[in-house]
Each structure stands twice: as structure tokens, then as C-alpha cells.
Structure 1
């Protein structure tokens, strides 16, 4: 995850511009509305980023904490009073340090990692540790762990998992804006190794490169992740890809 944190530091000034062109907030809000009950009123958004998914507008009457491992992403969130006001507390905390957050702030009724964030883990052992920490130290009995991920698939004739329809070494223009007299362009390019998808982002201003960031995503089949979640004391309450939702979602309930 540390390499991804460094990339978020580089990409933080452009993150909001990129995300504003994606329609993830509404389907995420619908998913949370369907999964959470009135008993789930103390929530932790454990990958809050800059807080601009805006789904908390659909979750009135709940206390929401936000945490993120990237100092720069947190600073952008705190600098926006409207977004920051949706959180009771905003805490800089890497996932490996979540137990210290739980000791300081107590347990939660639901913890979620949304926007394909959980795929930033290096391997399944790291994912298992995060899930176990949430179960043992972070969630009240009956609490929910909610996260989503890309639905990686083995393409016909392929030798490993990939993102469907996403081939290697294709540089795409994914955003072009002209605020004032400046032309801002963001490109991305995808490649794969044995178990990770790697996305390189390139930012240009008036045709000149100004920033580059690399993000990696662990590729693992949903059924393997579901088995992992069950193995540390969760009962699966939901798994699947909701209508118009960009990722495969998994919800586990902490059982005694």
C-alpha cells in the first residue's frame, strides 16, 4: 500500500477533477442505503480520500468517521468545509494502523472501503489482516464490513486475470478540461504482472507533462475474497454487482 500512498500524494491535486467525471457517488449511496439499518449508526469510511463521493447526504442521522492513509488526500478534504463537515472526525491512518484508531475511537457499527480502494493491498495476507482487525477490534457484534472491487476475469486464451475489456499498453485520454486559458489533460495506461493491475496516470497542462502517478491493484476472484471474509468470522450478507454499480460489492456481518 505504501507505494500507492506516494502516488496519491502526487496525484492529489488532480484527483477531484478526475473523479468529478465519474458517476460513482449515486450508486454507492444506493448500496449503503440498502445494506445499512437504523442500528448501524456509527460508521467508519476507512478509505475516505478527499471525501468527495458525497454519499453521506443519503445517510442522515448517522455519525461518520473518515480515515485515509494519504496525508495529502486528507489535507484536501480538510480544506473543503462542506465535505469535511460530513465527518465527525477525519483521521490520517494507514490500514495497518487501524487497531490504533479503534483503540482511540472505539468500535463501529459498519466499516467500509469503497471505490475499489481495498484492491490497493499487496497480497491476500495483507487483506486478511485488515479484515481480521476490523472483525476483532473494529466492529461491534452485528456490525458490517462493506467493500468493493473490480470483477477480475480470466479472458479467453489469457494466462491470468485482467479487467474485462482492458488491454495492456493502451494510452487513453480520460479527461480534457479547459479552465480559463489552461488545457488540462489526464491520460491513463494499463499493464499487468502476475497478480496486479498497474495503472499509470499522466497529467499534462497545455501539452506539457506536469505529473505522473502509478497505482497498483491486487487481482483476485471475488469468490476467494468471500472465502477469506468468512474465514475470520463474518457471514456474507450480500455479494454481487448492483445495477449501475461500477464494482463487485461484498458485505459481511460480524457474527459471534
Structure 2
């Protein structure tokens, strides 16, 4: 997992910047029920997405566990940030109308704890909005996708839609229609994908063995146009409603 204390200084420009953040914020806004007054954005990072979740009558807060990320976010969200672990939020039960978790669940091994905590702090009828199937959203139809797909299909991600839906149901959250948005500036390159592979980003796909990973790395290195971005991903934002 990345060191987000070190990443804060250059995080935005390496993650698609404002266009990607605006697309994510727009997707969140599309799924908020009328009358939503409070939203907490988990793992808000630099607040680039969070500050764009704006509409009349809605107050948006950001929470993150990294000091450096929150220093940036606090400038964008003055008085509305808190340093907190997404598994242990400093809020009473039923305190919020909405919780968002954009590009979070695929990063952590404790998905269920985050879902459970979101359910705890939501009022009845409140919504959890979270990205699912993030890795599967990348490179669809590209030569990179053709290489990754056989490995990906054997290991549903931490944020797999079926898994997250089952966890949500176990904690009183029912599925509702979601939406999709474009990951502007996030088209992968063969060289970049190979680098992520070497850094262990896809380690869970290979169950601790190196042979298949090494073969995949060699195949990625053999692709043409090593630094040409492939198509931008289309991310899926799922919605879950807290039972009354």
C-alpha cells in the first residue's frame, strides 16, 4: 500500500487532477437522495473530490488517516476535516445522511469493518456510496486488459461488487441503483502497469507465488507503445440504503 504521507505533495497531478475529481463528485451528487443534509467523505485525501460535492443545503466533511493529506484537505475544506480511521469514526450512531468512499475499499484488507462503521453512523434511509470493482474498470478491451483479465477473474478484489453487496446486507444496508463515471487521465500504460506489478499492487492475484507474476511482467514489457495510455476507465459507484 502506498505511503500517503509521502504521496500528498503530488497526489492530485498523478491521479487525473480536477477532471477526474469532478467526475467522481458529480457521480456522488447524482446518487444523493433529496433532503440529504450531511455527508462524510471517507479517505478524502487532499479533498479534491470532496470540495466538489456541493449543492444547496448539503454540508460535506472529509476524514482521512494521513496527516499530510489532511493538511491539504483542510485548506479546501476549512473546519470540515477530521483525522480518523474509517473503521472507528468519532461519531454517534445515526449521525449522518450519507457516507461516501471513493477509491477506498480496493486498497484495504478490512472492507467489512469500513462497511460496518458506515452503516453504524448512517441514519435509517441514509446512503453509503462506494466505488466497486475498481481494478476491473481499467483497460477494458485493451491489450493490457487481455493480459490481466485471466488473473483478475480468479481473484475478486477487496472491493468486488458481489462481496461488498453481501457485506452491506449483513450490516443493514440494501442495494439501490448506482451510476458510473469516467476516470479522466487514468488510462494505463504497459510500463506503468508493470511497475505496479513489481511493487506488489496485484499480489493478491497470485497467492504469494512469483512465477505467474514474472510471466505477466514479461508479457507487459513486450507490448508495443510502452508509454501510450490505453482507454480511460469507467468506474462504478454503488449505492446502499440503511434500513429503517
Same fold (TM over 0.5): yes
TM-score (norm 2): 0.65
Choose which of 123, 127, 132 in structure 2 pairs with 1:149. Answer: 132
Q: Which residue of 1 aligns with 2:195?
A: none
Matches within 5 A, 1:57-96: 58-78=54-74, 80=75, 83-85=76-78, 88-96=79-87
SS at match of 1:24: helix
1:39-87 CA-to-partner distances (Å, cap 9, x unmatched) read 2111101121111126636423211111001111001222x3xx124xx
Q: Which residue of 2 aligns with 1:242?
A: 180
1:83-109 CA-to-partner distances (Å, cap 9, x unmatched) read 124xx52101112222xx113x97100
Q: Which residue of 2 aligns with 1:233?
A: 172
Shift in Å at residue 110 of structure 1?
A: 0.1
Matched, 1:117 2:113: no
- Larger helix share, 1 or 2: 2
TM-score (norm 1): 0.63
- Larger strand share, 1 or 2: 1
Q: Which residue of 2 aligns with 1:29?
A: 25
Q: Which residue of 2 aligns with 1:39?
A: 35
Gaps of 5+ in 1: 154-161, 170-190, 197-217
Matched, 1:13 2:9: yes
CA-based RMSD:
3.2
Q: Which has the higher contact order (CA 8 A, sep 6+)?
A: 2
Q: Distance in 1 between matches of 2:18 and 2:73?
A: 18
Choose which of 106, 111, 126 in structure 2 pairs with 1:127. Answer: 111
How many residue pairs get aligned? The number is 189
C-alpha contact 1:28 1:55 (8 A) present in aligned 2 = no
Q: Distance in 1 between matches of 2:171 and 2:94?
A: 20
1:163-187 CA-to-partner distances (Å, cap 9, x unmatched) read 75547x9xxxxxxxxxxxxxxxxxx
